[in-house]
Amino acid sequence: MMTAALLITSGSMAQQPDAKKGEAKKAQTQTRPAAVPLSTTVKSATDIAAQQPEKAGKLYSEWMLPAAKLTFPALPYDLDALEPVIDKLTVEIHYDRHHRAYFNNFIKAVGGTEMETMTIFEIFSKMSELPVSVRNNGGGFFNHVLYWNNLSPKGGGEPGGELGEAITKYFGSFEAFRAKFDEAAKTRFGSGWAWLSVDPEKGELFVSSTANQDNPLMNTESRRGFPILGIDVWEHAYYLKYQNKRADYVESFWKIVNWQDVEARYKQFYEMKDKLFR
Ligand code: MN3
């Protein structure tokens, strides 16, 4: 069973047999801790559910494990699966070198410390008191897992269901939300991320951007939230294909957004929110 999956996976792995190649295969042969099943039932919009019907409603999370037990997850599709939006070489370098390095350095940084037994959410909640190596590498590890799951070769379009309704409620329309997210992604100076998150107090959706490998779960952020969609705007995410044209990368990004994953994460927020911001 593919519970080796990622943060809050929408489970695109099971229908991506090629994910078993290379490093992914190695990862799967390790003994993995049992995933924590969540009881959420996903009720996706028809167009989204049609993409991965057999996985709707099946959510797993490994993030509640002690940090030292976290594993480096397989990419949920082939390296070239996101072409032409993101080219194979970019995915390969981004996933296998950058992301893997963040993971390795995070595990190293928490090793032998009290952080070993904390969940990554507990670590993010105490970020301001912890070493910068944990902030950069823990953020880098977590953010990229979310990023890969947020994307799919079968993605694109617009969300329906409860997520689509919430976006309309809080932004006025999907177009208005997208304009806001685009703006955050394009104007983030230097390296960082733009996010769509859920406010833990009010439940409202909001857009923000963070520097470096920070994310809205960290207590170093002025507005904290549970991220459900993130775009990496570090140059390593797009430079080979788009060079300095970040705006073109951001525009193309929408063609591969895995809305089923974003909606699943949105619903998971309500399952997990009590454990996220302590
Ligand atoms: Mn990156």
Ligand 1: distance of its center to the CA of 84 in Å?
18
Q: How close is the Cα of 169 to the center of ligand 1, in Å? A: 31
The alpha carbon of 140 and the centre of ligand 1 are apart by a number of angstroms equal to: 7
Q: Taking residues 104-128, what's their average pLDDT?
A: 96
Residue 210: what pLDDT? 98
Exposure class string for 72-84: b at 16+ Cβ within 10 A, else e: bbbbbbbbebbee
Give the helix ranges, DSSP H, for 59-99: 88-92
Q: Identify which of 12-21, 148-157, 263-272 has the greatest average pLDDT.
A: 148-157
* Tokens (6 digits) for 147: 């990023």
Q: For 82-103, write each residue's pLDDT tens digit.
A: 999 999 999 999 999 999 999 9
- Whose CA is closest to 218, among 140, 114, 101? 140
Q: How far is the CA of 115 from the centre of ligand 1 (A)?
A: 24
Asked if residue 84 has a cis previous peptide bond (ω within 30° of 0), the answer is yes
Spatial separation of the C-alpha atoms in residues 175 and 54, rounded to whole Å: 29
Q: 174 has which bridge partners?
A: none
User: DSSP state, 246?
Assistant: H
Residue 82: what pLDDT?
97
Q: How far is the CA of 13 from the centre of ligand 1 (A)?
A: 21
Of the listed ranges 3-7, 76-80, 265-269, 271-275, the one predicted with least confidence? 3-7
- Residue 61: the pLDDT is 63
170 or 4, higher pLDDT: 170
Q: Kindly report the backbone phi and psi dihedral angles of residue 11, in degrees, each rounded to the nearest multiple of 5, phi listed first.
A: 75, 35
Residue 184 alpha carbon to ligand 1 centre in Å: 16
Q: Residues lining ligand 1 (ion), CB within 5 A?
A: 232, 234
Whole-number Å distance, alpha carbon 88 to ligand 1 midpoint, is 14
Higher-pLDDT residue of 201 and 58 is 201
**What's the CA gap between 253 and 248, in Å, rounded?**
9
pLDDT of 232 > 50? The answer is yes
Write down the pLDDT at residue 272.
79
At residue 45 the predicted structure's pLDDT band, cuts being 50, 70 and 90, is: very low
CA distance 97 to 119: 24
Element (H, E) at 45: none
Position 140 confidence tier, pLDDT thresholds 50, 70, 90: very high
Distance 135 CA to ligand 1 centre (A): 15
pLDDT at 108 over 80: yes
Q: How far is the CA of 41 from the centre of ligand 1 (A)?
A: 31
Choose between 134 and 18: higher pLDDT: 134
Q: CB of 215 within 8 A of CB of 198?
A: no
Residue 84 CB contacts under 8 Å (≥ 6 apart), including other chains: none
pLDDT at 271: 80
Q: Is the pLDDT of residue 123 over 80?
A: yes
| CA 236 to centroid of ligand 1, rounded, Å | 6
Q: In this model, does residue 197 exceed pLDDT 60?
A: yes
Percent of the chain residues topping a pLDDT of 70: 78
Q: Tell me, in angstroms, the distance from the centre of ligand 1 to residue 232's CA.
A: 6
* Amino acid present at 168: T
pLDDT at 177 > cutoff 70: yes
CA–centroid distance, 98 to ligand 1, in Å, is: 7
Q: Is the pLDDT of residue 245 over 70?
A: yes
Confidence band of 266 (pLDDT split at 50, 70, 90): very high
| Ligand 1 centroid distance, CA of 162 (Å) | 29
Phi, psi dihedral angles at 4 (to 5 degrees): -70, 0
Question: What is the whole-number distance in angstroms between the Cα of residue 94 and the centre of ligand 1?
Answer: 6
Which residues are CB-contacts of 115 (< 8 A; sequence separation ≥ 6)? Answer: 67, 109, 123, 130, 134
- Residue 240's pLDDT is what? 94
Which residue matches tokens 């410390």? 113
Ligand 1 centroid–CA 235 distance in Å is 8
Q: What is the mean pLDDT of residues 102-128?
A: 96
User: In the β-sheet with 192-198, what is the strand arrangement from edge to edge?
Assistant: 205-211, 192-198, 226-232
Average pLDDT across the chain, whole number: 82
| 46 CA → ligand 1 middle, Å | 31
* pLDDT in the model for residue 268: 87
Domains and CATH numbers, the chain: 161-276 (3.55.40.20)
Q: How far is the CA of 208 from the centre of ligand 1 (A)?
A: 17
Looking at per-residue pLDDT, the higher value among 26 and 223 belongs to: 223
Q: Phi/psi of residue 204, each to 5°?
A: -80, 155
| Radius of gyration over every alpha carbon of the chain, rounded to an integer in angstroms | 17
Of 19-28, 43-52, 152-161, 228-237, the range with the lowest mean pLDDT is 43-52
Checking if the pLDDT of 179 tops 80, the result is: yes
